[in-house]
Structure 1
Amino acid sequence: MEKQTMLTRTCYYHHQLCFAFLFSFLFFTLLLCFHYSSSFNNAPTFLLNNNNQVNPITDFCTGRYVYIHEIPTSFNYYFLHNCNSLTRGTDTPNMCPYMENLGFGPNIHNIQGLFTNTSCTSTSTWYATNQFSLEVIFHNKMKKYECLTNDSSLANAIFVPYYAGLDVSQFLWVSNITIRDSSGKELLQWLVKRDEWKKMWGMDHFLVSGRISWDLRRQFDNESYWGSKFRFLPESMNMSMLAVEASSWKNDYAIPYPTSFHPSSKTEVLQWQSKMRLQERPYLFTFTGAPRPELKGSIRGIVIEQCLGSSACKFINCSYGSGEKCDDPVNVMKVFSNSVFCLQPPGDSYTRRSIFDSMLGGCVPVFFHPGTAYSQYKWFLPNNRTKYSVYIPVKDVKEWNVNVEKVLIGISQDEAVAMREEVIKLIPNIIYANHKSKIDKFEDAFDLAVKGILERIEEVREAMRNGRDPSIGFADEDHYKYTFSDNHS
């Protein structure tokens, strides 16, 4: 009896020991998996192979990590809460409706049959997006970027979510230049005190502007000059900026204006592209815009005159009070999708949002100046401009006597179809997607912009590793950027 009791106790103790060993093994395995998962999300991971040799696991995010600076809310979220005082680019302030849906703006509900027979009628695809909302759109997309890191020491780039364009829009018409410059100076004072700044003295920092770079590059401290001088402040010159239009300084880079198409999946993009391929186009060419009689050397007056004089051209007058509803995405997209060619002369500045709206509609852009696209959107458009566009250089308006209609009629139908196909293929490159799922993801303008700036920053690091001064040429002015070079003429 005593022997049986001892045997039972021994089995019980052995059972306990086995259970403890099994529990420890499972706990250790779980801990190891958790450690591996955490390591993979933050830095390259290493494991041992059968020969006890270290094998590196390729990290998908190597070279792509971005750290978002948690800057004071007075430099970004403040503008969302006080959006009624911000200009939307017309005579009426109030950007509040355009702050909806993470900066995409209000859903477009009245689609008037434009998107018939496609799933693009989804209210999560088309929005009344304002071009000045790009800073908000980019910030919200960056929050979902797949290679974010909370450890700035691992970051390949530091994103500064300063809404520079929204900020300066409050004071563009204020004569006091001290007021215009104050916010930017305060931000830079905050940044230079951070440890992240000292790593590369700001050369790995970048920000985004929904306004053209020139609005932030006032060259003289004179009240009669436009904009702020934020980008000419010494600390800011160490940073890079992505804007809808780049200046002639080398640390400014152009990214597409936001359109109203923000698909959630690649499928929606493919369906829209298919529709644009089959779209009937009764107009040979179109111009959507307003005259600029106050601008000396502007080609717009001649373009409008030629368009009005041609039965093959559709003119949409976007002058205030014209009643054409040029800020209505549906109205604009109907015209572009019904046209073979879309004229894109410079306006108040070199670039136009219309470039991307028209390309979204499958319309082949016609450019008159290299600064409108060719020397701007190099990360997004092909180097070979003849594949997707028509170029009619206007070096001097007074001496220009080209008939646009004759030039376009001279392009064969096969050539026009081939160019349109290239334009349609480029649609993913020029839109900012509304990625709600990673299952059907595609590379959009945001992805290409981040890839471009990461490559730029890596070039700076490479210069530092090789003992060169990275500041040489970093923020220099490119005097030839907007000239009619041999590549563009």
Structure 2
Amino acid sequence: MRNIFRKGKRVIIGYLIIMVTVIAVSETLLGKFFLKISPYSMQVPNVLLPTKGVTSYINQSVTQQQKIPTSRNIIFNSRTKQQSQHSIKIPTKAVKNQITSTVSSFRGTTWDPSSIHRKAITKNCTMLVDPSIIKTPFKFYIYDLPTKFNYDIQRLFTDERKYSFCYNLDYCGMGEELYQYSDKGTQIDQKMEKTDGRISVRNTHQFALEVIIHYKLLHSPYRTTNPDQADMFYIPAYTGLQCLTFSGNSQDFVNELFHYLETKESKHFNSGKPHFSTLSKIQREQASQNCPTLRHSKTEAVTFIAIEKESNPYWFRNQQIHGKSIIVAPYPSYIHFINQDKEKTLFEYHSGLRKLNESRYILKVPPISERKMLLFLAAGMRRSNFFRAKLLDQFAVQTDKGPDDFYESVANHPQTEQVMLITSECSVKHRTTTIPWMQRSVFCLQPPGDSPTRKSIYDSILSGCIPILFTNQYKTEYPFERVLNYESFTFTIDEKLISRYNKTVIEIVKGISEEKTKSLYNNLVRVSKWFQYSLPDGDAQWEDDAVTLILDELAFRNNITNVTYIF
């Protein structure tokens, strides 16, 4: 009996060995077969990357078996014969042949966004391709700074308990997703299959610009990993966020930054080529005693992307920031577009659009007819100046509820025409109520606070709510004024009407004609895409967003290439 059992056991083991061998051989043959016929199946086993700084951290998180799509209809840059040491290395002959045939077949053709194989955004915002080979009108190089100048600061905000309740700088600096909504302004069940027209609302902090711009540029097709090919250079230092940590000496931080550039990157930093960087805080604050970035003499040669440019001459005189080159960019909004392969109106700039009024894009948000609230204000109770205090006093109806709960609570009362949502910085509640309110309101009031501009302006633009701005004695500069006519999609009130003549905002808004309101709304939903930072997905980013016009402005100021015309 035992002999029979042993003999049967051997037979079973033998069959198992044969089956495993057959499966292994079959997979090998099939793998070779599909490698020859399918460009999407190509796998790159290894990626050689820079050895230090946030760039290396991002790219080193790519696993050895990441899929790299190669059949993208793009124009490849013919000048990249001298491949950078940081480019992707392909070890096998079969894969080399596959790349050669694919690149040759698409050289010089028109790029089709529907050919892209999309991937979900990762927490560490992984970059999967080297954009050096992509042909663009100009190229910039990102300095690979030591991590103490960027990544260490990002992790401090995200990991330490004293900051993380307020700041979430993961996911390319855009924060964790709160929810998504459809073109009807309704929230979408995350378990549902993804559809076109989805927009991501995320826990994005208003001072996250340094991180967002850095990661967006890492994904930009305009980037090169070979500094000798660069027309411009980007300095990815988080000087504004460093000031907010209140850890260490900010003056020493800035001095060490420029000492590093002068000594370790002297060839390129002193080359005379344009340099640019980002400021997370407003210009005034980054020239203060506690945050002295703009007081350093070397910043004279750097163009800064900033959320606000100082307009008051008093600050120029007292903080020595006169003459600094600033490109005003939108505050990071809660709202970010999810890349849509089939939505070609999100790729118009790369397709040749330069006259923005010829754009066919329309933001998918509720129309005016479905917006119940005429005038909406999202603000804290802080009465930071006389004018703001006077505006707050005009809102008798104040709430901390979302629109659904609010309308349910006032169902048996006369419908109000204006409402104020009480917000406070770092509050969890208003992160999920502000955008729904704006999507149901026609006009969104944007009063000045500690400075003339605020994040809420861009939340309202991306919600289809017409921003109401104010004039004062100094001209406030808004993003991309060279190519966007703000009078066509915002409404401006002279502050004197409120402060001197005691007019109410609701009285002024009711005087706006229905025709004028429709015109403002129709223009607003056409320009909105330029005020958001779309979610990177691992591929080179061609989508129309704020970074598109930032790069356009850099090109204009440095006489590098043709630029856009006004909307």
Q: TM-score, normalised by structure 1?
A: 0.70
Q: 1:407 to 1:357 in 2, by over 3 A?
A: same
Structure 2 residue 196 is matched with structure 1 residue 126: no
Contact 2:330–2:479 (CA under 8 A) maintained in structure 1: yes
Structure 2 residue 146 is matched with structure 1 residue 72: yes
Measured in 1, the distance between the counterparts of 2:488 and 2:226 equals 43
Measured in 1, the distance between the counterparts of 2:473 and 2:207 equals 20
Could you tell me which residue of structure 1 aligns to residue 363 of structure 2? 273
Structure 2 residue 78 is matched with structure 1 residue 39: yes
Number of residue-to-residue matches in the alignment: 388
Q: 1:371 to 1:337 in 2, by over 3 A?
A: farther
Instruction: Say which of 150, 158, 164 aligns to 1:94.
Output: 164
1:86-485 paired onto structure 2 within 5 Å: 93-94=163-164, 98-109=168-179, 114-116=186-188, 125-171=200-246, 179-193=249-263, 194-200=266-272, 204-218=274-288, 227-248=290-311, 249=322, 250-266=324-340, 273-277=363-367, 280-293=370-383, 295-296=384-385, 298-308=386-396, 311-319=416-424, 325-326=429-430, 328=431, 330-369=432-471, 375-379=477-481, 382-383=484-485, 385-394=486-495, 398-436=499-537, 441-458=542-559
Measured in 1, the distance between the counterparts of 2:240 and 2:195 equals 31
Measured in 1, the distance between the counterparts of 2:165 and 2:377 equals 27
Could you tell me which residue of structure 2 aligns to residue 8 of structure 1? none
SS state at 1:341 partner: strand
Contact 1:157–1:457 (CA under 8 A) maintained in structure 2: no
Alignment deviations for residues 392-429 of structure 1 (CA, whole Å, 9 cap, x no partner): 12159752422211211111112111101111111110
Q: Which moved more, 1:442-451 or 1:308-317?
A: 308-317
Contact 2:368–2:442 (CA under 8 A) maintained in structure 1: no
Q: What code does the residue aligned with 1:102 have?
A: C
How far off is 1:63 after superposition?
Answer: 4.4
How far off is 1:107 after superposition?
Answer: 1.7
Q: What code does the residue aligned with 2:309 have?
A: A
Q: 1:426 to 1:130 in 2, by over 3 A?
A: same
Contact 1:85–1:95 (CA under 8 A) maintained in structure 2: no
How far off is 1:264 after superposition?
Answer: 2.9
Q: What code does the residue aligned with 1:301 have?
A: A
Contact 1:115–1:121 (CA under 8 A) maintained in structure 2: no
Contact 1:262–1:432 (CA under 8 A) maintained in structure 2: yes
Measured in 1, the distance between the counterparts of 2:375 and 2:483 equals 21
Q: TM-score, normalised by structure 2?
A: 0.61
Measured in 1, the distance between the counterparts of 2:482 and 2:171 equals 25
Q: Which runs of 5+ in 1 are unaligned?
A: 1-35, 44-56, 222-226, 461-489
Contact 2:362–2:525 (CA under 8 A) maintained in structure 1: no
Q: What code does the residue aligned with 1:246 have?
A: K
Contact 2:498–2:504 (CA under 8 A) maintained in structure 1: no
Q: 1:229 to 1:198 in 2, by over 3 A?
A: same
Q: Which runs of 5+ in 2 are unaligned?
A: 1-74, 83-107, 110-132, 312-321, 347-360, 398-414, 562-567
Measured in 2, the distance between the counterparts of 1:153 and 1:371 equals 46
Measured in 2, the distance between the counterparts of 1:424 and 1:38 equals 35
Q: 1:278 to 1:345 in 2, by over 3 A?
A: closer
Contact 1:104–1:127 (CA under 8 A) maintained in structure 2: yes
SS state at 2:484 partner: coil
Measured in 2, the distance between the counterparts of 1:191 and 1:170 equals 23
Measured in 1, the distance between the counterparts of 2:80 and 2:543 equals 21
Q: Percent identity?
A: 23
How far off is 1:181 after superposition?
Answer: 1.4
Q: Which moved more, 1:74-83 or 1:430-439?
A: 430-439
How far off is 1:82 after superposition?
Answer: 1.9
Q: 1:123 to 1:364 in 2, by over 3 A?
A: closer
How far off is 1:381 after superposition?
Answer: 6.5
Q: What code does the residue aligned with 1:228 have?
A: C
Measured in 2, the distance between the counterparts of 1:74 and 1:439 equals 26
Q: 1:352 to 1:79 in 2, by over 3 A?
A: same
Alignment deviations for residues 422-466 of structure 1 (CA, whole Å, 9 cap, x no partner): 111111100111143879953110111122123223389xxxxxx
Contact 1:75–1:162 (CA under 8 A) maintained in structure 2: yes
SS state at 2:294 partner: helix
Measured in 1, the distance between the counterparts of 2:449 and 2:364 equals 32
How far off is 1:157 after superposition?
Answer: 1.1
Measured in 1, the distance between the counterparts of 2:135 and 2:337 equals 25
Could you tell me which residue of structure 2 aligns to residue 469 of structure 1? none
How large is the Cα RMSD of the aligned pairs? 3.7
SS state at 1:101 partner: coil
Contact 1:255–1:377 (CA under 8 A) maintained in structure 2: yes
Measured in 2, the distance between the counterparts of 1:158 and 1:353 equals 28
Contact 2:276–2:303 (CA under 8 A) maintained in structure 1: yes
Contact 1:181–1:228 (CA under 8 A) maintained in structure 2: yes
Q: What code does the residue aligned with 2:549 have?
A: L
How far off is 1:213 after superposition?
Answer: 1.7
Measured in 2, the distance between the counterparts of 1:132 and 1:103 equals 10
Q: What code does the residue aligned with 1:300 have?
A: R
Q: 1:61 to 1:308 in 2, by over 3 A?
A: farther
